[in-house]
Every structure is written in C-alpha cells, then in structure tokens.
Structure 1
Amino acid sequence: MKNLLKVTSLSLAALLLASCAGTSEADSEIGTVDANEQHPEFADMSHDELVEAAEEEGEVVVYAFTSRIATVAEEFGAAYPQIDIVAHDISSSEQIERLRSEHDAGAETADVAYVSDAPVVWNELLSDGVLQRYVPERVEDELDDQYKDPLLTNRLSTKVLMYNEEANPDGAPVENLWELTEDKWASKVVMVDPTQRGDYLDLLTEMVLRADEMAAAYEEHFGEPIELDEGNENAGYQYIADLYANDVILLSSTDDVNEAVGATGQEDAPVGFTSYSDRRDNEEEGWALQVANEAAPGPGIIFPAMLGITAEAENQAAARLLIDFMMGDDSENGGPAYEPFYVAGDYPTRNDIVDPEDALPREEFPAWEISPEDSAGLRDDVNDFILTVE
C-alpha cells in the first residue's frame, strides 16, 4: 500500500453535527478510561506485533491542535509507509466540540486526539469516556504521574508575555504585569480574545487563582496594598478589569499577535501574550519575538498538550502506534518523531529528553503550571466576568 498523507484544516462551522445536542460541563467526577483495559488484546503486544496489526488496519486518523502535525505526519509516513495517516489541523476548542458531537452521534471519525485546553477536556471528554488514556510502556517510567494520568502529556506548551527584542535590545520593557494597566501601555497590549480561545481563558483564570501573588506584585510595583473595586473579588479579577480598561487589543489568532508584537522594523512595538515556542519562526517570518521571562509575578502559564484514543476508534493498533511515535524515540532529543516539538518554549514531559540547547531550562522558567482541575472549577466564572468588563 502506498502511504497516503493528508493534512486538512477544519473550521467550527464544518464541525457541528445536526444530530448533536448542546454540550455542557459534566457534573460527574473526572474519571479515566484506560484504552488497554477496554481492548486487552493490545496490552501485551510487542512493538513488532503492534506494527503488524497497524499495517493490517492500514490507516490512522488524528485531530491535532497544532499545524506541526503536518511534520509529524510526514515523519510517521516515512517510518510506516504501509499506514495511511490522515491528519486534521483543528484548534482545541473546535476539536473538543467535534469529538463531543461525533461521540454523542455515534459517528466518531478520529482515532487519536492531540489536544490542549485541559480544563475543558477534563469536564467534557474524560468524564464520559470520549477520550481514553494510552501510555506506551516504552516511555511510562520516564514520565511523572501527572503526565500520564488522566491522559498522556507529550509536552508542555505556554501562553506568556512576549516582546520585540529588536525594538528593546536591552531586554524586556516590562518587569511587572501591573505595568500593562498603566497609561504607557494603553492600546499596546495584544492577545487573542479569551472568551474565544481556551488557553487564553486559562491564562486569566490562573491570575485569579494566583490572586495572592498578583496582590503582592501590585504592592511591589505601586508601593501600596491593592484596593479592590466593587465587584472584584480579588487581585486577579482586579487585574483583568484594569487590563481591559486600558484598552487591551483582542486579535483573532496567535499568528496575528506574533505579527503585531514581533514584526521587525518597529520602534515602539506592543507587547502581547502568545506562545514562547513561536520564537522558532522568528527567522522565517521576520519576527523578533522574545519572552519577558522576569515579569512579576510570572510571565504567564504552562499547560499540557495531551494525547488520547477516541472511545470507538476504528484503528486501535495504528492509534497506539501513532501515540508511541509522537512520544519520540529513545535518543536524548526524541529524534525525528519529536523534532517538531523540540524547540525552545516547549518542554518535554519525558525525563530522559533534555531541553533544547537554546531553551530556558524548565526549572528556571517562572511561568505558572496550571492545575486543570482547579481551572475547570473557575473558568466559567472568569469568562462571565470578562464579558462584564470588555
């Protein structure tokens, strides 16, 4: 069989199934369904046996929240030419909607989901078993528990404050997040609308969860304790209100944020919240993005990028093989399979993969690592608050 590589990008409008009822957060506790417990015939397979079974299936379909899935698909196709791979590049928010809709309609298409927006995954996909956990035995001992339960995490991604290093050759122009609420930065802070993108909502939710740190940073910057406006429960909510009052600019995509902040030739560039790993495109795109690593009380968030098998995956063996592949080979950098994610700003979850040479070491990176469960319990409140101040 000649390998078929197909990568598509899907819009939300194309995802809504007519037979689907509206989604809502599950009331039940978060649970995990283990794929090998559901299909024990795969539990003791050797790698060669798994490859043979996957080649008999002949295909694997993956939904992924990153365009880098195209490179993964090319490498997977080269490694396993007898298996057709169909890769859909689709944002996490839209992907969750599609997975939920297809599951409810009994018409699942994907075998593998590569998704972020962990708090929604916790509520929408895990509690009802829409996604199932699969952790390859080969890498299990190299993962901390939090990265293999309730789903497998292959890397940590970010949403952090970035600036234009060409326009600011002496370093970040911001030392404290509260500076962004002052006149100097009016209409000069950009981000994607957090009511439309889950990772940005997670960023603001984390500020509310870290209210004590936000309050301490306020006092450090202004020299006096924070006073909360009526209706603002803590310093995190106050920060959101003040940021919006200072005319934060909301854009439609991270690429737009990257261009606004990072485009070279600017003398008075804005700053913005985006992905640290997007620095990898500086040369190709003509950007000068750099992370404001020392911004107090933290530059932003770190969150998991997760892999799971859909409940009714048609290609069970190929799904397992692809997930194993996306965890990288046994080299210290994960090899060709992991290369798309082996960039500064993405942090491997495998303890035996070292950080890229030009990356700020994880232990020195002060961004907040989110707790998906804590965020899940607060996101709706933060979203509702944003709607009152935007």
Structure 2
Amino acid sequence: MNIILKRPVRILCVLCILCISLMLSGCGGWYEQVLDQTLQSQLNTATILSDEELYQRAQKEMASGRVLDFYSTTSTAETSAENFMKKYPKLAGKIVYHEIDDAETYDFLSAEIRRGAGTVDMMLTQNGADLDTKLIQTGLAYRYFPEQYRDQVEKNFQLPVAVCLCNTLFIYNNCEGAIKDHNIWQFTEEEWKDQIYFKNPLDETENTNFLVMLTSPEWTEKIEKAYRNYYGNEWNNGDQYLSASYEWIDRFLKNCDFNHGSNSQICTSIAEADSGKMGFFVFTKIRKLEEEQRNRLNVMAYEDDVDCFSGYMYAIYASVANNADCPYTCALFINYLLSVEGFSEEGSWNHYAGYYSANKDVHKETGINDRDFSFWENTLVVEDSDYIQDNMEFVRDFLESALKTH
C-alpha cells in the first residue's frame, strides 16, 4: 500500500531526519552534552546511596571488563586502592593506579580527557585553584561529595572533596639546641641570611600558594600583630609595601637558600647540616630519614612560643572525569578514602606523619611523632582555593619582582 504524504508533512519529516543525522554524526557536542548530563546525574544519585548500594552498581559497571583508571600525585593512594579492592573483592583488579607529577598534572589530564580515549576516570590532585580553573570550570571534571560525611567534613573541604590533607612545615636542625622566640619576623632578620632552605616558589606551586594566602586579610592582620609583638610598635612602612604581609614575604625570600631542587633534598640537608639551619618542606618527607637523622630535627609547631604560623596546609582533592564510564565505582572509592577504615588501613596515609583526613572521626595513629588534624588547623595557614585563584596573578608578579633582587 502506497502512503502519500502531504507536502507540509513531507517537509517536516525531512527536517526531522536532517536534525537526527546532525545530532548523531556531525554534532558530537550535543551528544557529549547528553552523556555529561547523564554522568552528572549519576554522581548526584551516588551522593545519597549507601556504600552497599554503590557496590552493587559498581559491579554492574565493571561487568564488561572495564577498569577505573585513576591518577594521583601521591603514591600512597596505590596502597589505598589495593586495600579498597580487598574490601570489595568483586572489584579486584579493576582499580588501576597511575602516578603523575605535580608539575604536569593539569596540562596532562586536560589533554587526556579532551582526547576522549577513556584513559582517565578519576583524579587525586593538589592545588585546588588549578583544579577549579582547568578541570571543573571547563567541564572536564565533576565534583562529588557523599551526604553520609556531611557532618564529619568541614564545608570548605567538601566541594571539591579533600580526601587527604598535607602540611609543609618550618623544621630546623637542633644540633646547637632549640631556637628561642619563634616569631615569624625573626626569620626576616640578617642573622638568618641563607640559613633557610626553601624551594623557589616560582618552581613549587604549593610554596606560591602559601605566600599568596599570607596576603589575605586574615593573615595580614595576624602578621601585623606578630610585628607588634616582635618590634614593639605598629607596622607602618609608608608606600613601599601594600601590607605587612608583602614586607614579610620580601624579607623572608631574601634570607632563603633556593639551591635544593626538591622537598626531599631539603629534608635530608637539614637533617645532615652541621649547624641549626631551618627548612620549610613537606612533613611527610621525614619518613625517608634514618632514626638518627630524624632525632636531629625539631618541628617548630610543637614548641609553645610560636608566634603567628608554623607552616602551610593544603589538600589532595578527588574529582571525576567528564567521560568516566564508571561513576558509581568512582563514588564508592571516594567514600572509602574518606572513611576511617580507608584512611587508616595498613600502609595507607594515616600510618605516616604529615597526612591527615578531613574526616573529623579519623585520629592520628599512635606511635607517630604527629598530631591530629585539629591541632594543625589551628597553627597553620590553610589553603583557600578561591582566594588563591582570585589573587594569584597579582602576588606572583610581586614574587617575580622580589626574586629578581634576591
């Protein structure tokens, strides 16, 4: 039987066929948007599911031979992945760890996700400001936070979710005894010239972020108070510096020795120094020292007379790639990393000094020369990604100018 269509109907059919053809072939962007919305909705659903419900969905995701490829700037995450698969045996062999260096993190991940090769599902990365601008705002990655931890994790560590916190501390060689009067302005004086080992902030993102944070209103006020305590009068430096924070940064950098290429090198050099030198380095690096070397070090934060701050705390954030094909498995893995069990299993972060969970229910393992997160939160400059993002360009220009005269 022949069906004869009237002219308006024929035109409408042709237009519909053309639209469908464009959407399925030439208009890949539309199709990708639909996939993205589906992935985002799945992550939204995952936030309210129990771990058991997520496990059931994760098994279905992985049934066709898929794996979860995740990149991490900390190698300890590999042990966490192994522990995770032991807890969820039906996912054994499905969580694949890839190491990535801090310097190449976001350029590499951006390129891989844009390629759409399916080689990146999840990331554990530091420097929240770059995570936001290079992955989140561009739509290349999504945030995820489970409702079950809403009361255990402070709001500023929820979106993006901080699965681990790290600190960079002032630590000194105690061969000549303890340093007295730990006021931060002390380290800007001539007596400390070339005595402070500090990785050049233009080559170390977290050191740059630390200095940017010092220019915030909160820390400027505290630095001015420390100035008053040390010098006996109010800070007033005319038009030379925008604030006391900028003066402290400039004078501090002039006292720094930048001849060490890594935090590990700084840690070892301070431990082996002949005299009482100061280092500003990642606390976790002390795990690589021999006991005799560790005994030569004093953590300034543990001494009662510290005036102002004794280091910097930053986070390792979890995010999910926009083309990940296992969102429920990613969500379950993130939940595990946030849990007391996941953070404290044998060989995981909590067994080392310098790693902390944003989950308040997680306490530092006994027998480690370390403190709980609550202690560090009160004595360190804590990363604020929004402030860093808004002020990075201006402060970095100042740093470049200051270092030219170093």
TM-score by length of 1: 0.79
* Residue of structure 1 in register with 2:386 after alignment: 373
Answer yes or no: is 1:65 the counterpart of 2:68: no
- Whether the 8 Å contact between 1:163 and 1:173 is mirrored in structure 2 is no
TM-superposed CA distance for 1:200, in Å, is: 0.7
TM-superposed CA distance for 1:359, in Å, is: 2.7
Answer yes or no: is 1:205 the counterpart of 2:205: no
**Which of structures 1 and 2 has the bigger CA Rg?**
2
Answer yes or no: is 1:37 the counterpart of 2:47: no
Q: 2:333 aligns with which of 318, 322, 326?
A: 322
* Residue of structure 1 in register with 2:401 after alignment: 388
Question: Structure 1 regions of 5+ residues with no counterpart?
Answer: 1-32
Stretch of structure 1 that moved more, 109-118 or 122-131:
122-131
- Whether the 8 Å contact between 2:46 and 2:146 is mirrored in structure 1 is no
Aligned partner letter, 2:168:
K
Measured at CA, do residues 168 and 126 of structure 1 come closer, stay the same or move farther in structure 2, by a change above 3 Å? farther
Stretch of structure 1 that moved more, 296-305 or 222-231:
222-231
Question: Structure 2 regions of 5+ residues with no counterpart?
Answer: 1-36
* Residue of structure 2 in register with 1:252 after alignment: 261
- Whether the 8 Å contact between 1:258 and 1:289 is mirrored in structure 2 is no
- Whether the 8 Å contact between 1:160 and 1:273 is mirrored in structure 2 is yes
CA distance in 1 between counterparts of 2:291 and 2:137 reads 42
TM-score by length of 2: 0.76
CA distance in 2 between counterparts of 1:155 and 1:40 reads 22
- Whether the 8 Å contact between 2:167 and 2:312 is mirrored in structure 1 is yes
Measured at CA, do residues 290 and 339 of structure 1 come closer, stay the same or move farther in structure 2, by a change above 3 Å? farther
- SS of residue paired to 1:353: coil
CA distance in 1 between counterparts of 2:44 and 2:257 reads 52
Measured at CA, do residues 364 and 283 of structure 1 come closer, stay the same or move farther in structure 2, by a change above 3 Å? same
Q: 1:123 aligns with which of 130, 133, 138?
A: 133
**1:1-390 alignment, distance < 5 Å:** 36-38=40-42, 44=49, 46-56=53-63, 57-79=65-87, 80=89, 82-107=92-117, 109-148=119-158, 150-165=159-174, 167=175, 169=177, 171-172=178-179, 175-209=182-216, 210-228=219-237, 230-263=239-272, 266-283=273-290, 286-287=293-294, 288-293=296-301, 294-329=305-340, 331=341, 334-336=343-345, 339-357=348-366, 358-365=369-376, 366-390=379-403
Measured at CA, do residues 179 and 321 of structure 1 come closer, stay the same or move farther in structure 2, by a change above 3 Å? same
TM-superposed CA distance for 1:337, in Å, is: 6.8
Aligned partner letter, 1:239:
W
Q: Which digits, 9 at most, give the CA deviation of each residue in 1:41-99, with x for residues without a partner?
A: 75657144034235424422111111222322443454446334332222334212222
Measured at CA, do residues 291 and 129 of structure 1 come closer, stay the same or move farther in structure 2, by a change above 3 Å? farther
TM-superposed CA distance for 1:237, in Å, is: 1.2
- SS of residue paired to 2:269: helix
- Whether the 8 Å contact between 1:53 and 1:317 is mirrored in structure 2 is no
CA distance in 2 between counterparts of 1:321 and 1:132 reads 15
TM-superposed CA distance for 1:36, in Å, is: 5.0
**Aligned CA-pair RMSD:** 2.9
Measured at CA, do residues 172 and 314 of structure 1 come closer, stay the same or move farther in structure 2, by a change above 3 Å? farther
- SS of residue paired to 2:306: coil
Q: Which digits, 9 at most, give the CA deviation of each residue in 1:276-317, with x for residues without a partner?
A: 333344437944444211532111222222111111113334
- SS of residue paired to 1:52: helix
Stretch of structure 1 that moved more, 334-343 or 181-190:
334-343
- Whether the 8 Å contact between 1:192 and 1:252 is mirrored in structure 2 is yes
- Whether the 8 Å contact between 1:76 and 1:337 is mirrored in structure 2 is no
Stretch of structure 1 that moved more, 82-91 or 108-117:
82-91
Aligned partner letter, 1:46:
E
Aligned partner letter, 1:388:
S
- SS of residue paired to 2:198: strand
Q: Which digits, 9 at most, give the CA deviation of each residue in 1:160-219, with x for residues without a partner?
A: 211224x255x4456022222222211111112211222111111122222222122123
CA distance in 1 between counterparts of 2:71 and 2:292 reads 26
Higher helix proportion: 2
- Whether the 8 Å contact between 1:36 and 1:134 is mirrored in structure 2 is no
TM-superposed CA distance for 1:35, in Å, is: 5.5
Q: What is the count of residue pairs matched by the alignment? A: 351
- Whether the 8 Å contact between 1:75 and 1:336 is mirrored in structure 2 is yes
Q: Which digits, 9 at most, give the CA deviation of each residue in 1:130-186, with x for residues without a partner?
A: 2212234554443233222x2111222212211224x255x4456022222222211
CA distance in 1 between counterparts of 2:353 and 2:38 reads 32
Aligned partner letter, 2:229:
E
Aligned partner letter, 1:64:
S
TM-superposed CA distance for 1:232, in Å, is: 2.1
Measured at CA, do residues 77 and 388 of structure 1 come closer, stay the same or move farther in structure 2, by a change above 3 Å? same
Stretch of structure 1 that moved more, 194-203 or 310-319:
310-319
